[in-house]
C-alpha cells in the first residue's frame, strides 16, 4: 500500500509504484513566496535568466515579514515586492493581510491532492489540508517560478499515531512539543511526517495546522494529515475547490508507513519547552515558579483564531501579573477581525494585552518589540533558538496559548489547569 506521501508525489510526477529514494520531477500546483525571501531574492535570478514566471495564476505572494515597514530598507523591500507583483501580473497578492501560512488556506488556496512549495521553512503547514507542501530556498524557487517543476526524492514516512482524546487545556501544541521531545529536532530529517489516529481526526483544522507547521521542527520535509470531511468543509468555506477524487488521499493505515510511533493523548499533560530548543520539552509543572518578563501569543503556529480564543478563555475576567507584559500578534487580519467580532480581542485587551501587527514580528526577530538583554519570554511560537526573538542573552520558553495566558496571570510558568481549576 502506498503512503500518503507517495500518493501525492505520484500524482504530481505522473509516475506510479514509487519507492523510497526514487528521484522524480513533479509539476507544481502552487508556489508561495513572501517579502523576505521572495521577489528581492528571485527577481535578480529570473532577470539574469531572462525568464518570466511560468504561470501567474499558480503563484501567491504575501507580505508578512517586514510588516510594518518601519525603516528605509524595509520600505524599499516592500516597494520592490509590489512592483514585481505588478510586473508579473500576479493577482494572488496579499499585502499586510497576515502570515503566509495562515493566509494561504484561509483564502482557499490549499486543497487535498495538491503539490505545493513555499519560500519559507514552515511551508509544511499546507500538509494539514492533504496537500504535499514543503519549503525551499530562493535559488530553487527561482527554478520553480520559471519552469513550474521541481525534483524530489521520495521520502520515508513516519506515522505519528495518536489514540484517545486530549484533556481540557491540552492542545495540538502540547502534542507537538511531546513529539519534539521524543524524536528530537533531527528525528524526521528529510522524511514525511504523517499525523494520524482518532486524536487527529477530532482536531479543528487550525489545530491540525499547528501540527503540520511544526513538522519543520522535527527536520521533516512535509507534515501530512489525510483529508476528511472537516478538510473539505474548511476548503469549501474558504472559497477553494475540492477535487472530486479527494478520497484517494484518505491514506493513514499504519502498515503503509516505514516507521510508526504510538502516542496516547489521554495521558498527555500541558507542555513547556525550555531554551534553546523545542525538544527541551517536559510537563509544564516541571517548570513551575520560574518567573518571566514577556508573554507572547503570536506567529503562524500560535496566534490563529483558535489560539486567540484559547487565550481569551483563560484571561476572561482576569488580569495579567504586574511583572509580565503580554504581547499579542494575531496571525492574520481575518482571524483578528473574527476574534474582535466574537469579543475575544476585547477580553485580551481588558486583561492587559498589547496588540502588535499581523506579521511574523518578533518570532522572526523583526520590529521594535524584540526581546531585550536577559529578558525571559514564554511564547506560543514554534522556535526558541538562542537570539531568534531578540538579544542573544534572552531566553524563550515555548508553550500553548492556554499555558502562555495562564502563566501571564500567575507571573510564573504554570500549568493552565491549575489556573482554570482542572488540575
pLDDT digits (tens, 9 = 90+) for 136-191: 999 999 999 999 999 999 999 999 999 999 999 999 999 999 999 999 998 999 99
* Cα dihedral across residues 126, 124, 132, 309: positive or negative: negative
Confidence at 1, pLDDT banded by 50, 70, 90: low
Q: What is the pLDDT of residue 2?
A: 85
Phi, psi dihedral angles at 78 (to 5 degrees): -65, -40
pLDDT value of residue 364 = 84
Window from 87-91, 112-116, 359-363, 415-419 with minimum mean pLDDT: 359-363
State mean pLDDT over 87-110: 98
With CA atoms as reference, report the closest residue to 193 among 158, 169, 165: 158
Residue 402 has pLDDT above 70, yes or no: yes
Mean pLDDT of 245-256: 86
* Spatial distance between the Cα atoms of 68 and 359, rounded to a whole number of angstroms: 8
All structural domains of the chain, each given as residue ranges with its CATH number in brackets, are 4-265 (3.30.499.10), 271-420 (3.30.499.10)
How, if at all, do strands 93-95 and 115-118 pair?
A: unpaired
Segment 292-313 mean pLDDT: 98
What's the pTM?
0.96
- Take residue 113 and report the three cell numbers written for it: 491532492
Could you identify the residue written with the cell 494585552? Answer: 353
Report the distance separating Cα 116 and Cα 119, nearest Å.
10
Gap between the Cα atoms of 339 and 359, Å rounded: 16
Residue range 199-215, pLDDT digits in tens: 999 999 999 999 999 99
What's the pLDDT score for residue 146? 97
The Cα–Cα gap between 157 and 159 comes to: 6
Average pLDDT of the segment spanning 373-387: 94
Q: Give the pLDDT score at 379.
A: 97
User: What's the gap between Cα 49 and its chain centre?
Assistant: 33
DSSP string, 376-423: EEEESSS---TTTTB-TT-EEEEE-HHHHHHHHHHTB---HHHHHT--
Please answer whether residues 297 and 307 qualify as being in contact, where contact means their C-beta atoms are separated by less than 8 angstroms.
yes
Residue 423 has pLDDT above 60, yes or no: no
H or E element: which one contains 282? strand 281-283
DSSP-assigned beta bridge partners for residue 95: 63
Give the residue-averaged pLDDT of 365-387.
92
Distance set, CA 190 to CA 133, 201, 218, 345 (Å): 13, 25, 9, 39
Length, in residues, of the chain? 423
Continuous segment of H or E residues that includes residue 117: strand 115-118
pLDDT tens digit sequence for 14-68: 999 999 999 999 999 999 999 999 999 999 999 999 999 999 999 999 999 999 9
pLDDT score of 186: 87
Residue 15, C-beta contacts closer than 8 angstroms, at least 6 positions apart: 22, 24
Q: How far apart are the C-alpha atoms of 302 and 44, rounded to whole Å?
A: 34
For residue 223, the model assigns a pLDDT of 98
For residue 254, the model assigns a pLDDT of 65
DSSP 323-381: T-EEEEE-SBHHHHHHHHHTTHHHHHHHHT-EE--SSSGGGGT-STTPBPTT-EEEESS
Answer yes or no: are the C-beta atoms of 158 and 257 closer than 8 Å.
yes
Task: Please state, in angstroms and rounded to a whole number, the distance separating the CA atoms of residues 33 and 119.
Answer: 5
Strand pairing report for 30-34 and 395-399: unpaired
Specify whether the CB–CB gap between 355 and 328 falls below 8 A.
yes
For residue 121, give the nearest of 191, 209, 221 by alpha carbon. Answer: 221
pLDDT at 281 over 80: yes
For residue 292, is pLDDT > 80?
yes
Contacts of 219 (CB under 8 A, 6+ apart): 185, 186, 187, 188, 189, 190, 191
SS3 307: helix
Q: Checking DSSP bridges between strand 222-224 and strand 192-196, what pairing results, if any? A: parallel
pLDDT bucket at 365, cuts 50 / 70 / 90: confident
Amino acid at each position: 500500500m502506498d503512503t500518503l506521501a507517495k500518493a501525492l508525489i505520484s500524482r504530481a510526477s505522473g509516475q506510479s509504484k514509487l519507492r523510497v529514494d526514487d528521484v522524480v520531477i513533479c509539476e507544481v500546483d502552487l508556489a508561495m513566496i513572501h517579502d523576505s525571501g521572495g521577489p528581492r531574492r528571485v527577481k535578480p535570478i529570473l532577470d539574469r535568466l531572462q525568464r518570466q514566471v511560468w504561470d501567474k495564476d499558480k503563484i501567491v505572494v504575501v507580505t508578512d515579514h517586514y510588516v510594518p515597514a518601519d525603516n528605509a530598507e524595509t520600505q524599499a523591500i516592500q516597494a520592490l515586492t509590489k512592483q514585481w507583483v505588478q510586473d508579473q501580473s500576479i493577482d494572488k497578492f496579499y499585502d499586510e493581510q497576515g502570515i503566509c501560512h495562515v493566509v494561504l488556506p484561509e483564502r482557499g488556496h490549499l486543497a487535498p491532492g495538491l503539490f505545493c512549495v513555499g519560500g519559507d521553512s514552515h511551508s509544511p503547514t499546507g500538509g494539514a489540508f492533504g496537500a504535499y507542501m514543503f519549503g525551499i530556498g530562493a535559488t530553487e524557487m527561482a527554478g520553480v517560478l520559471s519552469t513550474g517543476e521541481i525534483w524530489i526524492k521520495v521520502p520515508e514516512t513516519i506515522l505519528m499515531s495518536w489514540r484517545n482524546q486530549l484533556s481540557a487545556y491540552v492542545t495540538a501544541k502540547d502534542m507537538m512539543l511531546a513529539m519534539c521531545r521524543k524524536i528530537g529536532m533531527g528525528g524526521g530529517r528529510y522524511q514525511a511526517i504523517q499525523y494520524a489516529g482518532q486524536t487527529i481526526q477530532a482536531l479543528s483544522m487550525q489545530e491540525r495546522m499547528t501540527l503540520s507547521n511544526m513538522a519543520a521542527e522535527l527536520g521533516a520535509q512535509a507534515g501530512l494529515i489525510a483529508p476528511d470531511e472537516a478538510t473539505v468543509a474548511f476548503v469549501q468555506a474558504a472559497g477553494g475547490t475540492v477535487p472530486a477524487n479527494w478520497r484517494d488521499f484518505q491514506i493513514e493505515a499504519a502498515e503503509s508507513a516505514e516507521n510508526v510511533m504510538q502516542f496516547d493523548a489521554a495521558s498527555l499533560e500541558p507542555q513547556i519547552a525550555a531554551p534553546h530548543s523545542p525538544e527541551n520539552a517536559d510537563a509544564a509543572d516541571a517548570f513551575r515558579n520560574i518567573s518571566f518578563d514577556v508573554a507572547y501569543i503570536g506567529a503562524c503556529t500560535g496566534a490563529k483564531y483558535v489560539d486567540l480564543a484559547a487565550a481569551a478563555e483563560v484571561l476572561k475576567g482576569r488580569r495579567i501579573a504586574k511583572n509580565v507584559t503580554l504581547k499579542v500578534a494575531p496571525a492574520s487580519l481575518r482571524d483578528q477581525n473574527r476574534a474582535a467580532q466574537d469579543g475575544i480581542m476585547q477580553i485580551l485587551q481588558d486583561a492587559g494585552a498589547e496588540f502588535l501587527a499581523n506579521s511574523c514580528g518578533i518570532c522572526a526577530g523583526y520590529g521594535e518589540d524584540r526581546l531585550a538583554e536577559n529578558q525571559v519570554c514564554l511564547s506560543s511560537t514554534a522556535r526558541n533558538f538562542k537570539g531568534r526573538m531578540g538579544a542573544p542573552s534572552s531566553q524563550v520558553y515555548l508553550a500553548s496559548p492556554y499555558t502562555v495566558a495562564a502563566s501571564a496571570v500567575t507571573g510564573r510558568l504554570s500549568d493552565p489547569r491549575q489556573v482554570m481549576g482542572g488540575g
